[in-house]
Structure 1
Amino acid sequence: MAFTLLLVLGVAAAFFVVLRRLAVVEQELRRVESLVARIEQRESRFVAPSEPLVAASREEDVPPPAPEQFAQPAARIVTARARPAQPAKASPAPTRTSPARPAIQLEALIGGSLPIWIGGAALVLAGFFLVRYSIESGLLGPTVRTLLAALFGLVLIAASEGARRLPATAEDPRVAQVLAGAGVASLYGTLYMAAALYHLIAPLTAFVAVVLVTAAAMGLALRHGPPTAAMALIGGFVAPLVAGFDTAGVGPLLVYLGLFTAALFGLAIHRGWGWLALAASIAGFAWINYLIAALDGRGGDLSAVGGFTMLLAACASAALPATGMHNRWLRLAPLVAGFVQLLALAPALEFGALAWSFYLVLAAAALFLSWRQSLYLPAALAALGFLLAFEALALIQGERSATPLAAAGATLLFAVPGHGLAGRGRGWATLALGGSAGPLLIACAFAPSLLAPAAWGALALAAAAACAYLAWRLRRDSDAPVLTAASLATGLLVTVGLAQFLPDGWLSLPLTLVLLGLADWARAVRAPALFELPALPWIAAMVAGAESLFGLATMVGAALGGDRLPLLGIPPLTGLFRDLALPTAALLAILLDPRQLGRARRLVGSLAIAVGILLLHALAKQLLAIATLPRFVELGFVERALLTQVCLASGWYLLRTRRLPSLAAFLFGLGLVRFVWFDLLLLNPVLEPQAVGPFPLLNAAVLHAALTAFWLWTLPRAPAWRTAGALATIVAALALVRQATHGSLLAGPVGTLENTGYSAALLGVALFWLWRGITAGVYDLRIAGLALLTLVTFKVFLLDAAALDGVLRILSFLALGVALIGISWAYGRFLARPAAAIGEGDAP
């Protein structure tokens, strides 16, 4: 009872808002009519000479009933017409006082409009509650109650006709409108009680009676206007609530609601009342949600509610445009609301055949409306999206009887018209793509056990052919997102199809084929968006081979932490090259085309290069197979130096030839990082015993540092490269002395002879740099030579001399002094030459 009262109050409030707007519109229309009549009356008086006109106008200065903002402009127009020859005189602008129009409107609403409409609603509710009271009290039998309710409705309708003719009420048409609307609502409620509650009349008779009442309601609405229709709408939808909606069951109630809604749609179409059709649709969906909430908690059957939802959504979508409604979103709203409602009903219907039939029929209606008028195409696209969600939910819930057949039907329902009408625009092409690929992919993902792998593969390849054909048809529209989506869907379906015919773990093979195919397709079509697609199969391959990729990453982390035997952490090569090598090699091959990967080229290309280097590193580790510590001491430095030099030489060649600058910088930078991190810091052979070779000069330590210095010195001129080359040269000189004094194993203390050898070697390097800088005119080389010479001088005075005694100390200082004097003399002569003779690049 409380819910019914709340609902009635809500409806009354909504009705109050509608009536308020109608009253405002009606009042404005009356004012405009009064204004037009007044202007016409004044113009008719100014057809005589000007003086009488002026006098007449002065005599009739009484303000008219219309508002002053309308009367004053009319008076100015009349005066101008009466005195055309008089010059304009400056006069102060008249002050305008606007009346308080909101107060007048509120007064008219409260005092005139609101009581009469509340009175009409009260009449309807009085009749309903009188019948309900008689039921609860047992005063009257069902037949008498029904007859009294019918008589009450007829009396109200007769009273409306009387009010239309009586002189006292004929001037105010709202009296007749209220009475007619209340009478129609009462008759609808009476028929519901007679057929559904008491079963006094047969269903066929009830149907005929509803048709007659509907015809009468339409006639009265045509006669009395929108207010009568609004009263009929409210009364017809509220009547089952007042009488008890679940007394006779859901079926008769839905039949009643369906017939009543259809009558309202017919009336709205006939009169062009879009508001009536929209209000009937909203009320119908409100009843659907109310029934779902009421019946679901009681375990009731909601299949009839699903059927009513389907019919309401389809009929409302067809009725709204027929009423002249032009707002596209309001015209699409019933279809979308119907799909959402059916999706909410699906769990209660156990995703069975009945639920699927409702959904497919409504989707077919959306497609039909879209075929007739492109305005409905967004609703068809929404239908496809909801259908895919419906299928996924059904398969997750384990429904396997109706869902596979429904998915096949959905594929044909969307794909066939989509492909047939793809030439109309991108919307139909999207439907073709979604219908061809969507249901199949969802079924394969959520229910792979439905079919054998070979059957899945055949279906996927057939769907791929359909998507490829669509992409071929759209190839000239290079900016179309559907072209990109069709190309991607083709690749996905080919991958799924081929994977069904391959053993487990070989997903990388179809992904590689798809990657190459997408790259070739992008080159053929030359659509910018297509060039980015090959990155997706490669990323998918990396995700599929995540275990192998994680193994490589673990191996790299252990090596960076100082692991001497990283070979033991490398995953099996079979899995590595099966999962990662094929797609990575394909991606690196297509990178030769600078258009490939588009905006993702830098990021994805760098990742692919990193994975490729890791794979080559894992393969190179197999050559020497350093799996024990003694073998690490024997070959660890040699293996590491070879790998570093391969990176440096490859990067140096690419930098010198200016090919693949990103790859070149990556390789050369990797080589330098390896040289510094492993050979100078972490696994330095001076600290960690490792054999470098027994031959002076021709050993791994000296050659490794010398080659590194060579690569750096011979790169294009840049201060950073020259600085790094100078440091590598010093390392090579130190390695030369260390190996000459210690042999193949460089570990051990520093002796006097070795310390002196360091000074001599560094002094030789400094003198060479000075000589080369002077003869070639290279300023930074001369500066490096002078800096190194200064450091050697300090070393000799502070370190070497302290370790010598007697004649050796004297000879050491004598040789150093002579050498420094000679260097200073030669360098002074160089600086004394003219600036032009110094050579290019001398000036700092």
Structure 2
Amino acid sequence: MLDSDTTLLIMIAGAVALAVLCAPVALVLIVAQRGRIGSLEARLARLEGRAPATVPVPPAPAPVPAAPPPAAPAPQRPPEPARTPSPVPAVAPAAARPVRPSVEERFGTRWTVWAGGLALALGAALLVRYSVEQGLFGPGARIALGLVLAAALVAGGEALRRRLRGAGEPPRLWPDIPATVTAAGTVAAFGTVYAAYALYGFLGPAPALVLLGAVGFAAMFAALLHGQALAGLGLLGAMGAPLLVGGNGGGIWPLALYLPVVAGFAYAFAWTRGWRRLADMAGIGAAGWSLLLGLAAAKGEVAAALLHVVLQAGLAALPHAVLPGRRLPDEASTPRLRPALALALAAGTGGLVLAMLVRDGADAAWIMAALALVAIPAAAAFRTPVAALGLPVAVAAIAGILAIWPQPRIGLGDPADLMREADGPVALAGFALAASLGIAAAGALRLLGGSRLPTPAALAYAVGAALGPLAALALVYLRLAHGEVAPGFAAAAGALAAAMTGLAALFRRQSDDTPSPALTLGLGAFASAAVAALALGLVFGLAGGSLTLSMALAALGTAAIARRLDIPALRWCVAGLGIVVAARLAWDPSVVGADLSRTPILNGLLLGYGVPALAFGLAARLIRLPGRAPDAPLLVAQALSVALAFLLVFFEIRHALHGGDILAPTTGTLEQGLVTLSSLGFALVLVRLDGSHGSVVLRIASLLFGALAMLQGLLGLGLFENPLLTDAPIAGGVLVNDLLPAYGLPALAALWLAATARATRPAWYVRAATALGGVLGLLFVSLGVRHAFQGERIGLDRATGDLEWFAHSAAWLGLGLALLAYGVLRGSRTARIASAGLVGLATLKVFLFDLAGLEGPLRALSFLGLGAALIGIGLVYQRLVFAPGRPAGVS
């Protein structure tokens, strides 16, 4: 017998167990009943909603026809009952709008299906892997079981589709269960066929390719029945199957053939059904696999990785760039960003793979793959104007490939051997020539035959055709001549200029016969390219490699052509050339060589910075559109003109003070002062110009130069290169010495900037400029007094005499009085406040230092002079500044 406590415990445990077991059942029953009740309520609401529309409204009372006046409100009464059953619009949208499903709905209808599909896919692949590891079955049995599993999953998915689709389509946000099961079967089929080929050698390359194609073809038809979910999961499983199955002992050649087949079928699904996301998934997966194969490529399998990346690039170009615009007429074929991004992804991935495989030199396979990666976006652009941006992508591909090209072997062995070497200079030049001429030909032919091309497409063709040969020539020159004088490259630039001139003449004749915007753009682009080629030739032959000079002259020529031929689109070519120059300056602000002449001012800096600054300034003037706000091309040209002009002044200062060495690691007080003065001068000029041009570049540049001058003056002149702290020598006499250009002139320039910028710049800017002028002015006076007593070295460690102490007080008071006089005469409150500060500083010095440091008559004179000055200042304020009836200045 059990005691009462044990019995009670058993009863409680049973009740708890019963509750635990019944709770899920009750939850299922409650949810099911709620679903039925909800459907009944929705049906009742629909019936009630139809009643006002189908059941006629009772007619108005009998007196209505007899008495016309009461009949007027009667027609208005029937609609009111129709409005009263308003649950119809309230219930219907709520039932048809599952915008924010609950967590429970998301879990039960989405997450479980996704997790189940992923589990099926993993199970199909891991089952094969487990059988391999455990040796449970022979290779043939493993393949057979894999095929049976794939067939069972596909059959189960089709059975579920037929059974469930009869009850109506599921909500759009719910995952498709039949498609998920079928996708898992597709993954199993792909993995099994791949294992039969790569792991066990049951299939050769050709049969494996046929079977993989058959699986993909079957999956395509299944996706037509099951929707995009099957295609997406099938693609994910097919691309991930090699990673899950493992056993890549046969090298990467099987993958190089298998993966393009998978991507090709995915692109076919995407194109036939309009599944854009599937195409995106295929492109991203192909790019990832290309990088993996590039990393895994052994010495003997470089060709496999190269073949894979070329095949994937060609396949991606079809659905993204070529097919979308195949039936569109030229006038409706506006360039789209999506094809350009797809082509750029393929070309960029290919460039990374080429960079990975360049360690053994550029052999024939490497060069052929490089040509293919340039030709694919160029051919897509030539095929349809929708992908016209592919031509600039091809130009970028040329630039990238030439940048990563292995260093050519020059001067080794017999010249005939160098002609045959794949990694010699001839191969580099041949690649650049073939690729750039192909791009130029594609763009020129498109422009000549595309009289109805929209302006954006024509501009893309013109930019690509003109810029491709120029970029190739410049990069080959850098790789082979290393910036030195090269007459051969100068001759090549002349030949390119002649070819571009011939194209411009051809476009001019064609434009005279059949005028069109495309021909006008082509004419302007090739004429600008001819100017740019001549500028390159000049640099190659004379200047020793200043690309900054050549690009600036090309920009000026392009601006002149745009103005002369009235081609506004060419203004963007000026902006493009400006961006190239900006990138060159960002990479290395020093654009001149080490053999710079030591002659001040008249040296190579004028060609490296002065001429480009003038060229961009003139280009900005030429491309300015009257009556319109400054746009991007104009702003780029203005910014580069200002930046190059400042770099010219900056490097000329360093050149003059360091014996021609602009990269000297040292600096000094005079250099810091001249740089500060130059910055203030630029800020002052830009403030003036901004008033007439209204350019945001000039406005921002004036603020930046002012901030730079303030930082340079306070830190460079006040701390780091202050001769009082560094004890550096000061050249010159008592009145005219290094302190005048280092401190005196910058102080005046800062005060001038503050006065000029008062009406157009922020208050903080004006106050900061005023403070900088005051600080530099005080330093100029103080350091000048110490220089007069100490000589060329004025460091703090040197003894200070009584007369010098007195002179400092007198100088500060004198400067304060001068500022006060200026403030009273000009009504400047700022000057009077600065005067009060200086007078207060002198007063503190007299009471704190002169009283203890001075002796004899100097102490008395110090106090007498201070007292007289303070009384005089008081009189001035009483009589002139704050006299009754006289308004005080407030400036």
TM-score range, shorter chain: 0.5 to 0.7
Residues 763, 789 of structure 1: 8 Å contact kept? yes
Q: Percent identity?
A: 21
Change (3 A) 1:645 1:443: closer
| 1:87-137 Cα shifts (integer Å, max 9, x gaps) | 89999999x9xxxxxxxxxxxxxxxxxxxxxxxxxxxxxxxxxxxxxx99x
CA distance in 2, matches of 1:447, 1:400: 10
Structure 1 counterpart of 2:26: none
| 1:29-61 Cα shifts (integer Å, max 9, x gaps) | xxxxxxxxxxxxxxxxxxxxxxxxxxxxxxxxx
Q: Report SS of the residue matched to 1:835.
A: coil
CA distance in 2, matches of 1:733, 1:78: 97
Change (3 A) 1:257 1:589: closer
CA distance in 2, matches of 1:674, 1:253: 70
CA distance in 1, matches of 2:459, 2:715: 50
Amino acid at match of 1:498: Y
Residues 515, 538 of structure 1: 8 Å contact kept? yes
Residues 269, 275 of structure 2: 8 Å contact kept? no
1:842 aligns with 2:821: no
1:621 aligns with 2:654: no
Displacement of 1:754: 3.9
Amino acid at match of 1:421: R
CA distance in 1, matches of 2:277, 2:212: 25
Listed as ranges, the gaps of 5+ residues in structure 2 are 1-38, 60-77, 92-136, 139-157, 164-177, 328-337, 409-421, 448-452, 486-543, 563-567, 621-629, 692-697, 756-765
1:457 aligns with 2:429: yes
Residues 731, 792 of structure 2: 8 Å contact kept? yes
Change (3 A) 1:511 1:684: closer
Where does 1:598-613 land on structure 2 (aligned, <5 Å)? Answer: 611-612=647-648
Q: Which one of the candidate residues 529, 538, 541 is aligned to 2:584?
A: 541
Q: Report SS of the residue matched to 1:495.
A: helix
Residues 738, 746 of structure 1: 8 Å contact kept? yes
Displacement of 1:247: 11
Residues 396, 446 of structure 1: 8 Å contact kept? no
Residues 363, 423 of structure 2: 8 Å contact kept? no
Where does 1:378-393 land on structure 2 (aligned, <5 Å)? Answer: 381=343, 388=351, 391-393=354-356
Q: Report SS of the residue matched to 1:497.
A: helix
Displacement of 1:615: 2.2
Q: Which one of the candidate residues 457, 474, 477 is aligned to 1:498?
A: 477
Q: Report SS of the residue matched to 2:550.
A: helix
Where does 1:141-160 land on structure 2 (aligned, <5 Å)? Answer: none
Structure 2 counterpart of 1:418: 380
Residues 439, 468 of structure 2: 8 Å contact kept? yes
Q: Which one of the candidate residues 536, 548, 554 is aligned to 1:517?
A: 554
| 1:607-645 Cα shifts (integer Å, max 9, x gaps) | 76775455223201145999xxxxx9xx98777766766
Change (3 A) 1:607 1:444: closer
Amino acid at match of 2:654: A
Change (3 A) 1:521 1:467: farther
Structure 1 counterpart of 2:367: 404
CA distance in 2, matches of 1:644, 1:336: 52
CA distance in 2, matches of 1:649, 1:293: 68
Structure 1 counterpart of 2:729: 690
CA distance in 2, matches of 1:438, 1:640: 44
TM-score in terms of structure 2 length: 0.50
CA distance in 1, matches of 2:293, 2:769: 71
Displacement of 1:542: 4.8
Residues 351, 399 of structure 1: 8 Å contact kept? no
Structure 2 counterpart of 1:258: 210
CA distance in 1, matches of 2:223, 2:705: 75
Listed as ranges, the gaps of 5+ residues in structure 1 are 1-66, 97-134, 137-172, 179-225, 553-569, 627-631
Amino acid at match of 1:404: I
Q: Report SS of the residue matched to 2:401.
A: helix
CA distance in 1, matches of 2:889, 2:395: 73
Change (3 A) 1:476 1:646: same
Residues 363, 380 of structure 1: 8 Å contact kept? no
Change (3 A) 1:470 1:284: closer
Structure 2 counterpart of 1:476: 455
Residues 267, 279 of structure 2: 8 Å contact kept? yes
Structure 2 counterpart of 1:751: 801
Displacement of 1:496: 1.1
CA distance in 1, matches of 2:224, 2:739: 94
Residues 467, 486 of structure 1: 8 Å contact kept? yes
Residues 596, 660 of structure 2: 8 Å contact kept? no
RMSD over aligned Cα atoms: 6.8
Residues 352, 399 of structure 1: 8 Å contact kept? no
Where does 1:155-304 land on structure 2 (aligned, <5 Å)? Answer: 249-251=201-203, 255=207, 258=210, 262=214, 265=217, 274-275=225-226, 296-299=247-250
CA distance in 1, matches of 2:382, 2:614: 39
Residues 310, 361 of structure 1: 8 Å contact kept? yes
CA distance in 2, matches of 1:533, 1:354: 37
Change (3 A) 1:335 1:520: same
Structure 2 counterpart of 1:121: none
Residues 670, 738 of structure 2: 8 Å contact kept? yes
Displacement of 1:445: 1.8
Amino acid at match of 1:476: T
Amino acid at match of 2:584: A
Residues 669, 723 of structure 2: 8 Å contact kept? yes
Q: Report SS of the residue matched to 1:402.
A: helix
Amino acid at match of 2:472: L
CA distance in 2, matches of 1:315, 1:786: 84
Residues 538, 587 of structure 1: 8 Å contact kept? no
Q: Report SS of the residue matched to 2:584.
A: helix
Q: Which one of the candidate residues 327, 344, 348 is aligned to 2:275?
A: 327
CA distance in 2, matches of 1:596, 1:434: 21
Change (3 A) 1:288 1:819: closer
TM-score in terms of structure 1 length: 0.52
Amino acid at match of 1:751: G
CA distance in 1, matches of 2:572, 2:245: 51
| 1:504-531 Cα shifts (integer Å, max 9, x gaps) | 5689523542455367658845588766
CA distance in 1, matches of 2:186, 2:607: 70
Change (3 A) 1:279 1:348: farther
1:438 aligns with 2:397: yes
Q: Report SS of the residue matched to 2:654.
A: helix
Change (3 A) 1:486 1:619: same
Q: Report SS of the residue matched to 2:203.
A: helix
Amino acid at match of 2:368: L
Change (3 A) 1:758 1:466: same
CA distance in 1, matches of 2:53, 2:873: 114
Residues 529, 598 of structure 1: 8 Å contact kept? no
Residues 395, 468 of structure 2: 8 Å contact kept? no
Change (3 A) 1:710 1:252: closer
Amino acid at match of 2:889: D
Amino acid at match of 2:401: I
Change (3 A) 1:580 1:715: closer
Q: Report SS of the residue matched to 1:842.
A: coil
Amino acid at match of 1:250: F
CA distance in 2, matches of 1:783, 1:758: 20
CA distance in 2, matches of 1:591, 1:766: 45
Where does 1:641-680 land on structure 2 (aligned, <5 Å)? Answer: none
CA distance in 1, matches of 2:424, 2:661: 45
CA distance in 1, matches of 2:850, 2:404: 77
Structure 2 counterpart of 1:32: none
Residues 741, 754 of structure 1: 8 Å contact kept? yes
